[in-house]
Structure 1
Amino acid sequence: MEFKDLELVDLEELLLVFNTSFSDYVVPFHLSLEQLELKIALEKIDMNLSVGVFEFDKLQGFILQARKEENGKHIVYNAGTGINPEYRGKGLVRKMYDFILPVLKEKNADVLTLEVIERNDPAIRAYENLGFKITRKLLCFSGIIELKEKNTAVSIEEMDNFQWKVFQSFWDITPSWQNSNAILTDREKRYKILGAYKDQQLVGYAVYNPIARKVSQIAVDKNYRRQGIGTELFRIIEKLTGGQSVSVNNVDDTSENTAVFLEKGVGLKNWLSQFEMKKEI
């Protein structure tokens, strides 16, 4: 077997292994080539930092990785690990990490992070054996938006760019990797940035991906909560979805008010929970 980065990998070959690997996953799913390309673009996956295991020049397993700098630390995110079923039980995930860790250290990486489904006990144990530790629980919501009362005192306007300094002042929790500022930045044209205004003051916002029908971020000024502002943001998102299902992934479970709002106020269901895990290197 040979281990090497994925710089020259054929995406159709990667797609085949990806879909085979996740066909019997805890939550099975299947990507098209277009969806894989979108995942690589949106999550800023770096094929030079990603690693594959090959036998007879044929890809049998992979770890897709991306990198960002945040608060002075270089963080590397595992955006997906997959092994063809017949190659499992051979310690290939550990061997792929053993191969790529020196490369990451050369690039001054400080932290490895990933998400794993809460009930995927074998994967959790495997990552713990590699030195990862659970840092928080993340909730995933999806469903058809169902709203009630309308607040006519709030106006929603599309914004041209991210106003991170103001947005972050509304936060109670830090977004996960896929929804973080560093990942969304430079991808503004892929998103709808919605600002909520009351008396011409920005009091809330939402970042929505119309292609994936995902809400990446939503927050309301602490002084203006429980006034229907989040509801009005979702009212516009509802129009943008055309009545189709929408998702809000990786909500920190310590934000109980957000979870209650998404379930009781918006009508979404918490269909999946994940653990965020990290390893210092």
Structure 2
Amino acid sequence: MEFKTLANTSIDEILSAFNQSFSDYVVPFHLTREVLISKIAAEKLDMNISVGAFDDGKLVSFILQSEKVENGEKTIYNGGTGVVPESRGKGLVRKMYDFIIPVLKERNANTLLLEVIEGNQPAIRAYENLGFTIVRRLLCFNGSIQQGKENAEVSIKDLNDFQWGLLCSFWDIEPSWQGSVFVLEPMPENYVTLGAYIDEKLVGYIIYGPAAKKIYQFAVDKNYRNRGIGTKLFNAVKERNAGQTIALNNVDESSENTSKFLSEKIGLNNWLSQFEMKRPI
């Protein structure tokens, strides 16, 4: 078994190993080549710090990773770990981390970060044995947006000027990796980004990716809540996407108001929960 980064591994090799690994997952799924390329770009995954296990030259296990520097701390995000069924039980995830951690230390990385489905006990135990600890529980929602009552004084416009300092001031909770400012900056051109205004004042916003049918961020100014602003933003997304089902992943469960709004006002279903886990390098 050989361990090395994925810097010289083709997309098709990674795709084959990815789909084999997740064919019998807790939530089975299958990616196309285009969707994998989009995932790598959207999550800023870096093949130079991603790692694979190769058996006779064939990729049989992988960890896809990205790197973020924020507030002087360098975090390495695990955007996907997989082991093809016939190579399980060989401790490959631990061996891949044993290989890549010295590389990450050379890059002065501080923290490893990942998400794991709440019901996936074998994976949770494996990561705990590797030194990871659960730091928060994240709720995942999906479904069709139910049309809500609108506030006539709220106008919706395309949002082109991302004053992140202002937008972040609307937050109650920190987005997970996929919805972080690091991942969204610069904002992909194909995303729908809308602002809600009252008397020309920005009081809320929403960011939607039509290709993945995902909402990555939404928030309302704390001084303007319970006035139908969030409802109007979701109604606008419903109009733009012709009522297709959407997903909104990784809402911190500590924000009870957000989860209640999504389920009761927007009509989305909390179909899955994940744990965010961290460990120091």
> Which TM-score bucket, shorter chain as reference?
over 0.9
The residue correspondences of 1:1-281 to structure 2 (distance < 5 A) are: 1-281=1-281
> Aligned-pair distance for 1:272?
0.5
Q: In the alignment, is the contact (CA less than 8 A) between 1:162 and 1:193 conserved in 2? A: no
Q: Secondary structure at the match of 1:190?
A: coil
What is the identity, as a one-letter code, of the residue corresponding to 1:127? Y
Flag as ranges the 4+ runs of structure 1 deviating above 2 A. Answer: none
What secondary structure, in the 3-state scheme, does the structure 2 residue paired with 1:188 have? coil
What stretches of structure 1 of length at least 5 have no aligned partner? Answer: none
Partner Cα distance (2:186, 2:76) in 1: 18
Unpaired segments of 5 or more residues in structure 2? none
AA aligned opposite 2:150 = K
Secondary structure, counterpart of 1:162 in structure 2: coil
Report the Cα offset of residue 161 of structure 1. Answer: 3.4
2-structure distance, mates of 1:226, 1:48: 46
Matched to 2:276, the amino acid is E
In 2: Cα distance, 1:263 partner to 1:149 partner: 15
Which TM-score applies when normalising by structure 2?
A: 0.99
Render the CA deviation track for 1:26-62: whole Å, top value 9, x for unaligned: 1111100000000000000000000000011111110
State the shift of 1:148 in Å: 2.5
Shift of 1:140: 0.4
SS in 2 for 1:28: coil
* Distance (whole Å) between structure 2 residues aligned to residue 187 and residue 88 of structure 1: 38
Question: Which region of structure 1 is more displaced relative to structure 2, 147-156 or 222-231?
Answer: 147-156
Q: Percent identity?
A: 59
- The number of equivalent residue pairs is 281
More displaced stretch, 146-155 vs 24-33? 146-155
CA deviation profile, 1:127-167 (whole Å, cap 9, x unmatched): 00000000000000000110231111100100113220110
1:190 offset after TM fit, Å? 3.1
1:73-97 superposed Cα distances (whole Å, 9 cap, x missing partner): 1000000000011110100000000
SS of the equivalent of 1:46 reads coil
Q: Return the letter of the residue paired with 2:33.
A: L
Give the superposition deviation at 1:243: 1.3
Whether the 8 Å CA contact 1:191–1:208 is kept in 2: the answer is yes
- Letter in structure 1 aligned against 2:210: P
Any conservation in 1 of the 2:206–2:217 contact (CA below 8 Å)?
A: yes
Please tell me whether the aligned partners of residues 162 and 188 of structure 1 are also in contact (alpha carbons under 8 angstroms).
no
1:161 touches 1:193 (CA, 8 Å); kept in 2?
no
Deviation at 1:72, TM superposition (A): 1.5
1:199, 1:5 → 2: CA distance?
Answer: 53
User: 2:111 & 2:191 partners in 1: Cα distance?
Assistant: 28
In structure 2, distance between residues paired with 1:162 and 1:99 = 39
- Give how far 1:213 is off: 1.2
Q: Is the 8 A contact 2:197 2:204 kept in 1?
A: yes
State the shift of 1:188 in Å. 3.3
SS of equivalent residue, structure 1 residue 218: strand
Please give the per-residue CA displacement for 1:94-144, whole angstroms capped at 9, x wherever unaligned. Answer: 000000001101111000000000010000000000000000000000001
Residues 141 and 272 in structure 2, CA contact (< 8 A), matched pair in contact too? yes
- More displaced, 184-193 or 168-177? 184-193
CA contact (8 A) 1:63 1:78 kept: yes
In the TM superposition, what whole-angstrom CA distance separates every residue of 1:205-257 from its partner, at most 9, and x where no partner exists? Answer: 11111111111000000110000000000011001211110111100000000
| CA distance 1:150–1:229, change in 2 (3 Å) | same
Structure 1 vs Structure 2 CA RMSD: 0.8
